[in-house]
Structure 1
Amino acid sequence: MINITSKALPDAIVVGGRAFLIKTDYRVWIRFTQDFKAWKKMGYKGAMNIKYLFEDDIPAFSETDDYSGILEFAFPQNVVPHYERDNGEDVLFYDIDGDYIYAAFMQAYHIDLISTDMHWHKFIALMNGLPDSTRLSAIMGYRAYTGEKIKDEAQMYRALKDAWMPPYEETEEEKAADEEFEKYFEG
């Protein structure tokens, strides 16, 4: 997720309290997501070669948490949309959708992905914002189809509203009121 209040995008990860510069070009991270997907499919067996992610120094990974910076960079989390049911199926395949991705960026943004260097987070933001009029969006929609019938238009819009609303966070006053209310029911 891009923080538009900052002029800088992340270009390092922290491992063992030390920052390590990473390559940020979208091509590198597409490769990583494909490698990671294959590694996951094999049951996380063996070691993944991730040396290509780093500019200079390569960190020594000693704990599982040491990898969190890489995963957070590769798969930045957005708070919306959030769906109650996500079947986890892939709808985008970089290895076979290259033509459609290229065409979608040209159509929507007039960006030639072959001759453009772009930060991974910019690439993801632009992918997430592709208009429905692109062929890629239509293909991804076909792949996401579940066969579930929507009973009425209002139900569909309620589901979309719920998915796109930011998660509700209680204020301190509301938390204190809830705690006070719970005390009445304690033994």
Structure 2
Amino acid sequence: MNVLIDGLPTAVEIDGTEYTLNTDYRTCLQIMTAFEDPELTGFEKQTVMLQLLYPIVPPDARRASELAVKFLNCGQESTGNDSGDEDSTRYYSWSQDARYIMAAIEQAYHIDLFSADLHWWRFSYMFLDLPEECFFSRLIYLRKQKAKGKLTKEEKEWYYSMREVVDLPEIYTTEEQATINNFMAQLGQ
């Protein structure tokens, strides 16, 4: 598919039936935020994705999920590569960084996201091409440099002055947090 020629997708075909997609960027951000939620199981995340993305959920949930993920990936097939070959470090959070993402898109593209009617792919393309001079891009750069252990002296100073903004907290389920708390309590005795 070539978006320059074919336009942006608004539906998928499953078993010969066309299913409309809810392509609004806000809906897709809700899905992405659900995928960040450690309290939701994989099945619950899939359910949220299907219910939000499809006004009428297709009966073939497996194929609908595959096509939903492909849609959320802007047409790219999911590789399912969990071998560790790709960098899986998280450099941004749709939840924690929402205000910086919004400001960056408004600054770079002069679009008021509160009133904008944007297709998910258009939003994603803008998000992926934010200029280096915006705060959010500098924030991502700093997070990457920190993860690599390659902060310069000036970057370290900036990091320590803005640590609460830069650091993405580890997110644990309630069960995992209870295990950590129990372990820490045992260490204190």
Do they superpose with TM above 0.5?
yes
CA-atom RMSD in angstroms? 2.6
Normalising to structure 1: TM-score of the pair? 0.65
Alignment of 1:135-150 (within 5 A): 135-145=135-145, 146-147=147-148
Q: 1:37 to 1:16 in 2, by over 3 A?
A: farther
Which sections of structure 1, spanning at least 5 residues, go unmatched? 79-83, 150-187
The structure number with the bigger radius of gyration is: 1
CA contact (8 A) 2:32 2:94 kept: no
* Residue in 2 that maps onto 1:152: none
Alignment of 1:88-127 (within 5 A): 88-127=88-127
Tell whether 2:31 aligns with 1:32: yes
Q: 1:135 to 1:61 in 2, by over 3 A?
A: same
Deviation at 1:111, TM superposition (A): 0.8
CA contact (8 A) 2:34 2:40 kept: no
* Residue in 1 that maps onto 2:181: none
Q: Which has the higher contact order (CA 8 A, sep 6+)?
A: 1
The sequence identity of aligned pairs, in percent, is: 26
Q: Deviations over 1:91-110 (max 9, x none)?
A: 12111111111111121111
Distance 2:37 2:97 in 1: 17
* Residue in 2 that maps onto 1:72: 70
Which sections of structure 2, spanning at least 5 residues, go unmatched? 78-83, 151-189
* Residue in 2 that maps onto 1:132: 132
* Residue in 2 that maps onto 1:44: 42
Which letter maps to 1:142? Answer: L
Count matched residues.
140
* Residue in 2 that maps onto 1:22: 21
Q: Deviations over 1:100-151 (max 9, x none)?
A: 11111121111111111100000000011110000000111122223366xx
Which letter maps to 2:112? Answer: D
Distance 1:42 1:58 in 2: 20
Which letter maps to 2:65? Answer: Y
Normalising to structure 2: TM-score of the pair? 0.64
